[in-house]
Structures are given as C-alpha cells and as structure tokens.
Structure 1
C-alpha cells in the first residue's frame, strides 16, 4: 500500500480521535508501517465514513495524475533508466521509457544521446522516431494496449540484442506470448508497409547513374548496378526438417540480397530453406523472373567492343552467368591474364554485398541466431533489412562486420530457358575482360 495513502489515513484517524476521544484509549496510533492497526478502532461508523471518503478521494486524485499529460513531465516521478535508485526491473517500464525519451533525451549532447539509444535499440534517436512515425498509423489500427514508441522500442531491442521472447518478457515484465505477438506485428509492418519505400530497385535515372559511376570508380568495370550475395540465416526452431540444414551444418533459411555501392539493399528475397543452393534460390526470386521477362529494363546502355550492355549485377561463382548477372571466370584465378584481372575487379564490387550482409547481421544480432517461429522468420529478416537501409541512409556508425563462413564451389548448370542469356553473357564478359586488361596495360 502507498505510504502517502497511509499517511493520509493517519491524519484522518487523528481527526477522528479528536472528535471521539474515547476511541484513542482503545486504538493504537497507526503508522505507515503498521496498516493492520487501522482495523482496530472501536469507533467504526465515523472511521468507516472517513476511510471510504479518503479512498475515493485518493483514487480520483491518482487517476487524474496518471491521465494528465503534465504528470509524465515530472522527472522525480519517473526515474531515469540508468539512475542508481531505479532497479533493473523498472528500467524498462513505460514510465521510465517515457521519462527518458520525452524529458531527458533532448537535454543530452547528440553523440551521447544517440550512442546510448543505439546501445539499447540499435539505432540513433532520430532514426528511431522516424520508424515510430511511419509505423504509428498502422499500429494504431491494431488497438495495442501499449504506446507505439514503447512497443517499437521493445521490438528493436530484441532485434538488435538478439534476445528471446522469454528474456525480453522478464526485462519488460510482460508475458512471453505478448512479446511474440508484438514482435510479429511490428516486423510484419516493417516488412510489408515500409519495405516498398526503403528497398527499391534503382530504376530512376539519377540513382542508376550514381550507382553505376560509383561501382566503376571502385572496380574499373562499367555499368554495374548492384552486387549480389546469399547468406544462411541460422534458425533456432526445432523439428524444421533436413531441407533446412545448410551446407555449414546448421538449420537455416536463405537470404538473397542485392546491394549498391553504399551497402544499401535494393532487393531482398527470403524464399528457400537453408538446404537449397544459391542458384535455385535466385531462380525462385521475383527479381530473377522480372529480369528474365524484361519487366525491369534499365535505360542506360553502353557499347563494349560491339556489344550493347545494359546495367548488370555482379555475383560469385555460386550463381549462373547470365546477360544481367556477371560471375567470375573461375573461383581460384586460373584463367588468362585478362580473365584474372576481370575476376579481381568483379570481386571488388561483389564485396559490397558481402559487407552489407556483415553489417546487417552485426547490427541486428537476432539474425545470428534467429529465435522466432519458422513461419515468422521471413518477415523478421526482411524487417531487419528495412532497418539496415534506414541506418545506411542516415549514415549511422557501422558496427563490426559479422564474418560469414568461407565458400568455394563450381558454377551451377544452365537451364534450357537460360541459354540465350548465358551465351550473350559469356560474350559480354569476355569483352569486358579484354577491354579492362587493355586499359590496365596501357597505364
């Protein structure tokens, strides 16, 4: 029971004793630490009246204080999350979060403020508010009993720290099923509502030219518009079947990304269990089908030794060589001098996709060991990709790269419907290699 409430009752009893002196001979003076003494008065009727009145007054006052916007602005009512007099259990309460985010956050120096916010939620406070503002209209429709920013912060802490629903439930004093429910809702909204805005193919002329020019400066190869890579995202779900076991020996699902020169992902695909190979996953992706069908037609065309070459993606030897996807001649540099020079240049570009995945898993550590239901794995992965792009666009500090296991292998076979794309890609790749080698030799 609240001490201020007991003190109020004490004062009322003093008044009762003054009105009825005989009761003081039989009733010990109550103290805030002995609430049971309040029940021993022999003058029950007047005391009962005062008690009921005081309870109603107290409840009304408390309700008004809690509903008043001004009440949340009082620093002394809500201790800071890291203050010595607030225990670990209350660091993540709504009142503590509200006090920290609305009252104290803007009083801090920006570097300190954002560093502290990143340690808790994986991104700076301005980027966090961007996420909240974009999700708020959708979360409001769900009738969630928690404030939008608090729910988003809770999910971001799980994604950035890799916490399980059970661990997060203890931290926020909520039931694990509620943590899972909120996580599923927020990640689904990120993956469906925000991904069209923040994961986009560079079709706009200005962005396309910027990307191809930047890759050319990095690799000396013209018209590269993206770098592709695939990673196995380890899942913790049980009884998922052998088809989910990756080549590295752990259960997983595959994530395919295409990155630009800033390590911003402009296409992601999560469609296959970890046991599938990269080429099969590529062929099942929407991007592949759009490129094959000509649905994506970049208007920037250059001529390389008599070949008209549209913007293309670079990938490693795990992918098929196609007109829109250039791969190395060999994985161990056993080709001609021109071919080896091309392979070295191509891998400089492909490295950006590899580093983008390293940043993605380094920043959103839940992807290092995904502890969500297998049915929610794809949306959780895509949600992290959206957040990754937000961080890259905002130029957030880059964390240490997550190191992927080394891969070696042979190029996959070519399907019957891919032969025309393969033959053209083969001719263009050799033309690019010869042109590059000639330019390098003439320097």
Structure 2
C-alpha cells in the first residue's frame, strides 16, 4: 500500500506540481472543499512512503518477482522520483541501494529484452504483465499502428528523424562529428541500438525486406519466396510511413498472431534505468568517480554485446568532465529508452521541451516522382546532407528543408505553461479551493 501510494503521488506531482494530498478516507463534503498541498510538503512524504515500502517488502518472491512490488522496485522508483525533482543525493543513494541488492543485472541481448517471448528478465525490476489468454494485451489497434504495411499493418506510429539522428556512431561521436557517418546510409556504423530500435533499410522485418526507396516497387516476401508489390513504399501506398522510418524495438512475428494482438510485459522500470539514474545524479553532484563511468559503460557495452571490460570493442566513456558527462548520459538515455515512455519527462525535467518540442517534424517528399527528382535520382537518398546536432542533441534539418529536399510534416507547438499540466476544468468548477496552474 505504501508502494502504491508513493508511486501514484510521484506521478501526480511530476505532472501537476501541487496536488490534493490525503492519507485517510474523507467525506464527499470534504472532497469538495479540500485544496492543493504544496509540492514541497508532499515530496518528503512520498520518499517516506517509498522507504517504508522498501523496509518491509521482500527482495524477491518465488516465481515472478518483477510483477510484484519488491524492495528493489521501491528503491528504483524512489530514485526516479528524486531524479525528476533534482534531489540528486537522494536519487544517487536510492539507486545505489537498489544496485547493492545484487538482485538485478543487464539482460545479455538488448534486442530480445523487449520481445513478447522474454518474460521476467533479470533486468526487469517492476513490470505489469500482459496475457493473451487473460485478454490483457496492448490491443489490435496499437499493433496495427506499429507493424509495417506489407504484413498487414498500418505503420502509422513511427519513429522520428530526430530519434534516428540521435544515435551515436560506433566511434562514440554524434553524426555531424563522426567521419564514419554517411547520410546516404544512415544505419551504417551506428550504435547497435539504432537498428535494434528502427528497422534498417534493406533488412528483413516481419517476413519481408523493408525498403522505402522510391525505386523499390517490389520487395521480397520470405513467406512465399517471391517478389511482390511493396506496400511499405509511398510510390505504391500513399499512407506508408511518411518519413520512411518504422519501429523495430519489441516487434516480432508474434505481433502478427492472435488477430494482430500482442502481450509483451509493460516495463515500468528496469536495471539500465537505475544505472543511468545513479550516473546522472552523481554527475550533477559532481561526485564523478569510476563507479559513475562504470554505470554508463555497463549500459553501453551491453548494447554492443560485449563485457564492460572489452577494450576497443565499444566506445568506452573515459572523460571525467562534468559538462561532457552530462551530455553523454542524456544521449545514453535517448538511445537506451526510445519508445519506453521516458523521453517526455526527461525533456520536461531538463527544461528542454521548449526546444525539442517546438521544432518541425520532417519526412520524405511526396509524391514519389518528386522524391526521385529531387533526391533519389541525384544519389542523395536517404538524407541529402548530414543534419547538425546541437549541444542538447537536437538536430537541425533546415538546410535540407530550404533546398526543397525534404518535407515538413508538422510544426510542433509547446507553451512553457505545459511544464505543468492543467488541473481539469471540471475539478476547478466544483471546488473553489482548487486553484489552476499558471497560464491556463
């Protein structure tokens, strides 16, 4: 109960700031009168609840530990909440306590960690289980939005170009600094999490080769062994991915079964997050030592499928400069946790939403004849040039836009009032003591 209460208040505070705080049953009459308690007063109480939970919960259960609240789950979620509030010392302490339980370790294979067939991985600290049998699934619509069109999906929910640009090259440098990056072959020489997260062009996916090049009118169907019309190409299908990118992370052939439904575990928090929480908190405290570098390098080495001690087999982090490490750990989170629901709160707590969520969303030119004329027939597919990456990891595609080589899909909008969500109107209307957040 302490674990549940702490977890829910942590979520409410992260989005709304000051919230109504109650610890006992109240009457309907009181509910219409109670106001918001200051965030500064509630945060210590949330920490206290997490501490009480951690003190009494077991380290593990027989069977599926990650599907029930444990000591490690309470410590991990306390660390995340402290990180969100800039309480670096508390975040570092809670993360280290979770690490010191010696209960968790990184799953050996980043790619299959997210598959439906991987249950209760040693990396999972707290998950919500799903089950086809018990009709607890991600839903047919979610599956069809994510899977590609050739096997029957819609490919309507796709990764952004911003994300593709974020993955470092195998030399540890961003794409605009690395001599290894070729904008015409954007998946070559990249951190392995790039092609584990986004389907690389010309590779097999869900029984078909994935190739959005405008000349790839037909594509191999490995189920029949024959070439067929390529519905993942906008030359054939107008509503194929507008930016040519599709998700790979967590998606496999099981998503095509059970009427296009799937039941992967919903990961609430995993050990890689705890390691990077620890590293970030210690960096912000400027308490940089070997344990900080090791926490980052454990996560990065796993992505390359090698031990953390493997010399020269992955771009090991060696700098001890605070500003450099701050940038590194933020990029590491970007690469590691794509599609896991953590990016939004990272941008909010870093106060980068006003930059990252105000830029344009880009895609390939349409119709295909225009894409061929401006890009493909000139040998400039996929990206004509390399976008510049700023100090916060945000790419700049304006050079290609001005040259008429890419399409603007949307102009994203962000108002700084959105750093806090609005109290729902109906709640404010029925309770005069509930004051609205600024700007709404």
Question: What TM-score comes out, normalization by structure 1 length?
Answer: 0.29
Question: What TM-score comes out, normalization by structure 2 length?
Answer: 0.29
